[in-house]
Structure 1
């Protein structure tokens, strides 16, 4: 493990020891002024905290034996909560000075009383030091179980799949974090049948990411719709067919997703709309119409996509009630004091405009009230909120949403 991590763990917990009066000793450590630290040590007696800082400085320099002699010399003066970390540094120091048998013995003893945030590192030391392959495998599993973040888990799983006899389950855990990991994919591709559904998806998705779309279609078609990866596999199978310019087949694959709920249903809807602009227009519009007619949360977005592609003619064929329901959908900017949107109405009444302009083109006043800004639709220019500065003037912060949607038609924003 990196020596800096344990060194910092030990140092940051050392405030339990007495602080120096002015923090000058601490400053020398953080400035990495190692020669000054050693000069301070030679000049007189140091507190336990200052000794630990000197030891940490020596550790940073790779002077393992000298560092450990200072830390071990503290004895009982080091708080009990820090002693496991000191012992871990002893394990690392012994390993680095080629005294691996002693390091292994102390690491085994440390495992029985290791704190939770140190389990990963002790398991890693044991995995490196144990001569028995089975014991190494067990400790890499402990390392994975003790991981506190994805980066640690990824490192542990990489070590596991590099061992002889790595399992399919271990490979599947790794491809969840690294879909293109070659070692894990090799294990999955060479596994005896039947391969789990997650394994077929992993191989298909990796092929998709590598641009091998024929292989992706083959593997992803083996994932049942009812499985946990079913919708995801169907979406990427359709996308692979789209990349192969087999648009009709892609639409057939995406079709069942349009009749469902969820993120992959919305993703499929977007791809169907894009496909309609390239080829198979009649088939794609029919699928969008079928999705718009269903009682799902996707219906409104499907109808808006249909309206965008046909200029509203096809969408109105679904009936006046459906079309009006879409137009009455809540919009984040309809409560603007500038305008009510393209219809210029709210609750069936026209909003008054002081200048006689249509409400949605009414320009708004600038922050200082000196003139007007360029007239744009209220849905684009409305700021998020007013904020009064310390000087008493009112400023208008720019909306992040406005920035991201400024040049996009409203019907497209509503469908996202």
Structure 2
């Protein structure tokens, strides 16, 4: 009989405990699909006595997670500690250096150190897999690495952070302001006590840089992602977008072209006809556009113990079958370094929200700034005066180079009529 695949797990939080529960609950099915059983033999976590709802009494307990890399019975190390550096990175280096295969859900570590780790995996004939690092249980990495491997990908983009999508969906359905919905999300456990990693776009940017590397065969370049979040989206933006036929979503988008690699995370207005406009709550969704397969759409739960554990175990099944292959779908040395694309010449329509003083001549001042910058206005909406004496002006532009829109906003920022920082959101083309 084939020997079982023996696994050591670092981190017994919701996902680590979920992996053990899943292997127990679906053990017979997993064995049939993998061709051999998958058994956890060792674990490491902060508190040995904590009740996690799982039985670990028969497993080897290791206080120092790095020691799992040297565990004599472990074939694979699963890292669920988190963090781009520290113990997680030390464990990854040690495990791959020892020739053990490595599975992780750690998007920050892969975004920052994925190329180094891929080289180590290839040098030691070990597998390195990270399906759970992007979109939880949604098999988007496998889809890009395997299902769409024959295609040239023109663009990959999507909703990559469930916390932001939950907040924007609630603002949309209830007409609430951002701060109120964020507080509710924190109370329900959908958002962290310090939510900046999510709402400022960093989490989505980590995932986008991974997807871009897989889609385009480029070296991971998290530092080149232009990052913006959702904390300045207000209820009025949601309402105005709806009136114009759009929904607002935090979108990560990447394209590779002659001018370099473009990567951005930012709130976008999504046309109601687009499937991303209908992704609600904490779901994630990714779109990849291939030259032969056309548009691929992946949607599902992007976080949680069940979906993330499902992705981790799927990677373990691949390893049990002997399906290793390069972590980025091609050898690490084949990944091309690409310069950061200049976004200034990108042409798109824009949504601009201005809070200005309620006085004669303000609209003419706005129109002049747009005209002088070479930006054509498609529509302009003015709402009534607020308690502070400001009026809301919403502009949708025709397609214009982004540098021209920035020039117009720079002019308006110097105006005494402007009473708050402008809000500029891009409109996703279909």
Shorter chain as normaliser: what TM range? under 0.3
Structure number with bigger Rg: 1
TM-score (norm 1): 0.27
Looking at secondary structure, tell me which structure has more helix per residue: 1
- Which of 1 and 2 has higher RCO (CA within 8 Å, sep 6+)? 2
Q: TM-score, normalised by structure 2?
A: 0.26
